[in-house]
Amino acid sequence: MVDDERRDFADEAPEAQPAGSVEPWPSVGVRVTATAVVIAAAAIGLAGVPWPIAVIGVALLAAAAWSGRGATESGPIGRRSVRAPRRSVWPDLGMKTVVDAIDAPCLLTDAAGIVRYVNREATVRFGSIRPGDPLSFRIRVTALHDALDRVVGLSRAETVEWHDKIPMERWLLAHLSPIRFPPDPRGDDRPPDFVLVLIEDLTERRRVERMRADFVANASHELRTPLAAVSGFIETLQGPARNDPVARERFLAVMHEQAGRMKRLIDDLLSLSRVEMRAHLRPDTVVDLADLLPHVLDLVRAAAEGAGVVVTLEGCEAPVPVIGDREELIQVFCNLVENAIKYGSEGGRVVVAVSGAAEDARRRTVAVRDFGAGIDPVHLPRLTERFYRAHAEAGREKRGTGLGLAIVKHIVTRHGGRLTIDSKPGQGSTFAVRLDVAPAAAGSAKGDENSGV
């Protein structure tokens, strides 16, 4: 029986119609009218079905009307199936093109679970699946096949979600809808001739949800720690240390420190939120790095002197105009230089160097290099994640919020730039930011290069 169905759906030339068979409709006008009626009926019949499935269902039903073939009673006992035209289940005027253009995997199976059509996206996602094969050969998900049985048995739409781990982790959601040929706008209880399976990839959505949950959990933890310390000292000051001036001064100093830690964390959270809200807006103002970077060094001078670190600036002898937001770029380079001072203080110096004119007239690179202990390469891919610390305990001791590099990454991305990190244990670290130069400066540098200056 399966072989007969495969032959019915084979892509071969139509054979001569035997006497008594359904003849093609006599005119294009009649075909168009019939197609319009079928589409209208499908729109009514598919009410309440998710819109992508409704669109595909209408296309399939219109295809059946255009083909001029009727339904026949064949196949498994108690199930209706359709004797498809020899050439294709699709008409010649674009219905197949419409379904192929849908950017989600779409499959059509018969009531027995045999695949009858696979759109282009399904071929890309599921590889070797092809018409004539059982759906279970390629998609081995028990929940999906149980849902298919329910759609056939109960003649109602189903959705089912599953989680794949091989060959890669992904979450998928399938919408299954029954389809009958020809449709009855008044509704009927016939078993479906076909089941339409539309598969939606939820992987990115689930990834974002997981990131959001992790972010909330991490933020709550980071705020809870100093808040618990402040609450504990308040209770102590209200009780045993109420009349102890020495303890009061010591505890108040710690409370002030913890309150400052919470303030820095909240400030970083707000900064990250502002940057993300403006991620789609590229800056269009000109900023001179030769003016901005000395200002950054002034802002971090106290921290550098406290850590015994000398910070030097190279490559800013002439104006270095780039496209950017001044306040955001100050935040970027303050974060990078402060990190270099905190975690690379063993080397005793930090170098901020501007370069790039000789290599690319359209870009400038600002590299912040320390000569400290360096970072194990295993941590490098995750350094820009929120709340990630290569050395968690050291990070807490040095009062980092764990959000600095995440903010840097988002700001650099908004500027259309690039952040690169190079570090080896015992050799220090280099954080480099590449930015677009202002158009006039790029043209001038290019002219100088061509003239041999």
Could you tell me which residues come within 8 angstroms of residue 208 by beta carbon, excluding any fewer than 6 positions away?
none
pLDDT at 322: 92
- pLDDT tier at 38 (50, 70, 90 boundaries)? very low
Long-range contacts of 69-73 (CB under 8 A, 24+ apart): 69/22, 70/22, 70/182, 71/181, 71/182, 71/193
Closest C-alpha among 363, 355, 361, 319 to residue 447: 361
Range with the lowest mean pLDDT among 17-26, 225-234, 255-264? 17-26
Burial class (CB in 10 A: 0-12, 13-18, 19+), 165: exposed
| Mean pLDDT value across residues 173-202 | 82
Among all chains, which residue has been given the structure tokens 């992790």? 214
User: Is pLDDT of 331 > 90?
Assistant: yes
How many residues are given for the chain? Answer: 453
Task: Give the H/E segment covering residue 313.
Answer: strand 310-314
Range with the lowest mean pLDDT among 111-115, 169-173, 312-316, 346-350? 346-350
* Residue 149 in tokens: 């049985």
| Mean pLDDT value across residues 180-188 | 69
Average model confidence (pLDDT) across the chain: 75
Range with the lowest mean pLDDT among 35-39, 109-113, 310-314, 416-420? 35-39
pLDDT at 14: 38
**What's the maximum distance between 2 C-alpha atoms anywhere in the chain?**
111
User: Is pLDDT of 184 > 80?
Assistant: no
- pLDDT tier at 174 (50, 70, 90 boundaries)? very high
- pLDDT tier at 33 (50, 70, 90 boundaries)? very low
Cβ atoms of 260 and 392 closer than 8 Å: no
- pLDDT tier at 333 (50, 70, 90 boundaries)? very high
| Mean pLDDT value across residues 425-448 | 75
Compare 238 and 347 and report the one with higher pLDDT: 238
Q: What CA–CA distances, in Å, run from 346 to 228, 309, 340, 370?
A: 32, 8, 10, 9
Cβ atoms of 60 and 182 closer than 8 Å: no
User: Is pLDDT of 70 > 50?
Assistant: no
The proportion of the chain whose per-residue pLDDT surpasses 90, expressed as a percent, equals: 22
CATH class of 2-201: alpha beta
* Residue 302 in tokens: 């106290």
**Helix ranges, 46-157 (H):** 51-67, 95-101, 120-126, 142-154
Report the 10 Å Cβ neighbour count for 107.
Answer: 24
Chain segment 359-383, per-residue pLDDT in tens: 567 889 999 999 988 888 888 888 8
| Mean pLDDT value across residues 33-47 | 45
Domain regions of the chain by residue span: 2-201, 203-277, 281-450
Packing angle, helices 245-277 and 203-238, rounded to 10: 160
pLDDT at 5: 39
User: Is pLDDT of 240 > 90?
Assistant: no
User: Is pLDDT of 419 > 90?
Assistant: yes
pLDDT at 287: 94
What CATH code would you report for 281-450? 3.30.565.10
Range with the lowest mean pLDDT among 4-18, 119-133, 183-197, 433-447? 4-18
- pLDDT tier at 59 (50, 70, 90 boundaries)? low
pLDDT at 15: 42
* Whether domain 203-277 has CATH 1.20.5.440: no
Among all chains, which residue has been given the structure tokens 């359709």? 82
User: Is pLDDT of 87 > 70?
Assistant: no
pLDDT at 185: 67
Chain segment 88-147, per-residue pLDDT in tens: 454 444 567 777 788 888 888 888 889 888 888 888 888 777 888 888 888 888 899 999
Considering the entire predicted model, what is its pTM? 0.56
- pLDDT tier at 281 (50, 70, 90 boundaries)? confident
Q: What are phi and psi of 23, to 5 degrees?
A: -85, 155
Packing angle, helices 404-414 and 326-343, rounded to 10: 150
pLDDT at 373: 85
